[in-house]
Structure 1
Amino acid sequence: MTVKKSKNGGAEAQIKKLREQIDALDVKIQALISERARLALAVAETKQQEGSNNFYRPEREAEVLRNVLARNQGPLSEEAMARLFREIMSACLALESRLRIAFLGPEGTFTQEAALKQFGHAVETAPLAAIDEVFREVESGNAHFGVVPVENSTEGVINHTLDMFMASPLKICGEVALRIHHHLLGKGNDPQGAHSVVSHQQSLAQCREWLDANLPGVKRVPVASNAEAARLAAADVGTLAIAGDTAAQLYGLHMFASNIEDRPDNTTRFLVIGTLETVPSGNDKTSLLLSSRNRPGALQRLLAPLAKNKINMTRIESRPSRQSMWEYVFFVDIDGHMKDRKVAKALADLEKEAAFLKRLGSYPKAVL
């Protein structure tokens, strides 16, 4: 907004008037947020009277955020507006029941950023050392949900996550898409004097071209996580780390170069795992685990029910079944919810054709 000088006091008087208007709006906004919180508590009380203790509904939150995006007319961006509402919903939900979210740690990883993007900051987060530990924490009931990485747009799938679904009873309850920005971090004053650059092996791969051009003689050392890389860099001026904003802030590191990822669209997809079965939100995805019968044309026959029922398959990955040599299972993502009529018909046909079919879950597509 352009501030114009007025005849009765100039720019300072105009600014004072605008700030008074902002203060008046803040009072109204705060009152409305408090009223929303009271309504959220009323919803929780109604659920408790009906014997339900499940207060988190991902399909409802997805609906709210989609409506926020549809209503937004600026000047705030759609993402900024949606993140504001995410935090309001997170705070309101915490009044009903504070969620405990397990994630692939330690503190400062991109997985933690994904967890906070999905659930907001009014949750308790629990960093764990490995993907299988996140699954076990949720299976045991010590965490309501878990967040684990599943694929990167540059480097492909995270096999450990896919393999865990073969035996785990957990379902996929949601997904998070996180734009990954890598920064070169360190404690010293000159990155050219460093003897090594450390990061997760996928992050090193995602920044390969930048490292070749700018630090060709520096040794690259893969470590368990970007947060661990930041911790090592904080302890040694000769060590550089590739990590994100959260890790930089957590370990007090200088940012020598920002956004050094080779592809500007570098994105990682994360899955929310839990025991919850979601209802249709209107824009959903379903994940399946399949194996085919051992006969010619098995894969084509296996996937035929999807084409027959006009179901869009968005991803397919194969993994060794671990049951016998040279047998594989397929991880498949399709558009739609398993309760949708067309999807239900396709799954019924798949069951007849597949040697094995496991429904991993239907969930809202990532909104943010």
Structure 2
Amino acid sequence: MGIEEIRKEIDRIDEEIVRLLNERVAACKKAGVAKGGIAILDLDRERRVLERVASKSEEAPSEGIRAVYREVISMCRRVQRPVTVAFLGPEGSFSHEVASKHFGSSSRLLPSRRIRNIFTEVDLGGADLGVVPFENSLEGAVNDTLDCLVEYPVSIVGEALFRINQNLIVDPEVTSLSQIERVYSHPQALAQCDGYITKHLNDKEIIVTESTARAVEHILRDQRGAAIGSKVAAELNELKIFEAGIEDSPNNYTRFVVIKKGGSAEGGKKTSLILSIDHVPGSLAAVLNCFAKHGINVTMILSRPLYMRPWEYLFFIDFEGNLGDEKCRTAIEELRKKTRFLRILGSYSELQ
């Protein structure tokens, strides 16, 4: 078969793909009518769709299939009602990358200056979903997120693990570190790059910013400054990466969670909850024993001080399983008898 015949075959396949996409959009419009015009998000269903279509691929790489279908799902959501996703902005932040990757270009992405603003947008209906950083593999929990999970009536409906690559970003005219006088970045990014800063930037002024993306924006006005941030932020602002991958550890991941207003879902592979206990010996051991006796694996436990009650704490716990599992339901009922307060944040899975 010659090249022209091959191209004609590709054109025919493309036309068939478009025809089938139109059929899918029409079916999604019907689903939108059945939902009463309300965007009912089912991230667990979408995860299963991505897993299923990726498993069917024989020639195309599975990650490529997932990327294409994320956009297909995003487009089909839009014909029902565009989904608004709030993230810690501005554009170019790691939160922006996560939101873009998992919710597609047909979603409306809403940048927020503070984590609390994301929770407020979701609570008041300004956003359907919020993407917030929960913990970093090197620096630990994000306390603002923990506090807001306690204060706001939201649930966790998904999570995403994101590999963090930090870069030293400068004005395009900069050719030497000797031209740099100041370094801008978020406290966590500065901590993640402490070794590089100590070795190469120890004599520079350090200026803390509210996000790495904001740090990069400073370089547009400060040619003697450098920022530590993402490749995407550098590209969006047409700046230069002086050195890539300056983080101290290659095992630098941030776990993001997706929040929505309302009660928690029952599906998924993991469940998160918050609880408080009496400040007496053995109370925490009794809580953990509820999981152990039912063979439930606890994957994370964090503590956060209780306001107005010095030296007493709230505990954030993740465990494998969901509220559809009988052993998990039984353990939760036992926990309620051993705690002052218990709230299920959600059962969910990792986004594909």
Q: Deviations over 1:236-283 (max 9, x none)?
A: 2211111113211221111222222222232111111112546454x4
Match for residue 15 of structure 2? 27
Distance 1:209 1:71 in 2: 45
Choose the corresponding residue for 1:36, options 7, 14, 24: 24
- Measure how far apart 1:351 and its partner are: 0.4
| TM-score under structure 2 length normalisation | 0.93
Residue ranges of structure 2 left out of the alignment (5+ in a row): none
Distance verdict in 2 for CA 1:304–1:232, change over 3 Å: same
Paired letter, 2:72: I
Residue ranges of structure 1 left out of the alignment (5+ in a row): 1-12
Match for residue 124 of structure 2? 140
Give 3-state SS (helix, strand or coil) of 1:288's partner. strand
Q: Deviations over 1:109-148 (max 9, x none)?
A: 1111111222111111211111111111111112111111
- Measure how far apart 1:349 and its partner are: 0.7
Alignment partner of 1:253 is 2:239: yes
Alignment partner of 1:186 is 2:177: no
- Measure how far apart 1:317 and its partner are: 0.3
Correspondence list, 1:300-311, <5 A? 300-311=285-296
- Measure how far apart 1:326 and its partner are: 0.6
Match for residue 93 of structure 2? 109
Distance verdict in 2 for CA 1:355–1:127, change over 3 Å: same
Identity %: 36
Correspondence list, 1:125-136, <5 A? 125-136=109-120
- Measure how far apart 1:367 and its partner are: 3.5
Paired letter, 2:127: A
Distance verdict in 2 for CA 1:330–1:191, change over 3 Å: farther
| TM-score under structure 1 length normalisation | 0.89
Choose the corresponding residue for 1:211, options 193, 197, 203: 197
Give 3-state SS (helix, strand or coil) of 2:219's partner. helix
Matched residues, number: 350
Distance verdict in 2 for CA 1:17–1:239, change over 3 Å: farther
Give 3-state SS (helix, strand or coil) of 1:91's partner. helix
Distance 1:166 1:278 in 2: 14
Distance 1:263 1:79 in 2: 25
Pairwise CA RMSD: 1.9
Match for residue 233 of structure 1? 219
Distance 1:265 1:37 in 2: 40
- Measure how far apart 1:216 and its partner are: 3.9
Match for residue 34 of structure 2? 46
Determine if contact 1:59/1:280 at 8 Å carries over to the other structure.
no
Distance 2:85 2:123 in 1: 12
